[in-house]
Structure 1
Amino acid sequence: MAEISLQGSPIRTNGELPAVGITARAVLVLDEDNRVLHAERVPEIAREPDYDRALKALGWMEAGS
């Protein structure tokens, strides 16, 4: 279980989210203790999140890249 904030309200989730922003995209990066390292939601499906920032949060890319 992870606790995240959705529109300012904390919720606990097992990966399933309420149908809010259903036409949006999101990326979440959690550590092994289910702490959120990175979270981003873009307002519409036509846009993509910044995947490079998500990879940097995982330590897979240099911070200056």
Structure 2
Amino acid sequence: MKLALAIGAASEGGVHSHCRRALSEGIPPEAIQQVAILAIGTLGFPQAVAALTWIDDIVSGKKG
């Protein structure tokens, strides 16, 4: 839930933080990415893609 709120607020740091927390709780990366994909209808494609790149930063290990 907080990940979705961070995406809606366009908070890159919040998305990174909640993505790390979700991964530490055992949530698969695909499920985390699905949250951003579901945001397309509400927030629009550009914001959802931005969120996907922020999630990818953490999933791929680019930011720790």
TM-score normalized by the length of structure 2: 0.27
Structure with bigger strand share is 1
Structure with higher Rg: it is 1
Structure with bigger helix share is 2
Identify the structure with bigger relative contact order (alpha carbons < 8 Å, sequence gap 6+). Answer: 2
TM-score normalized by the length of structure 1: 0.26
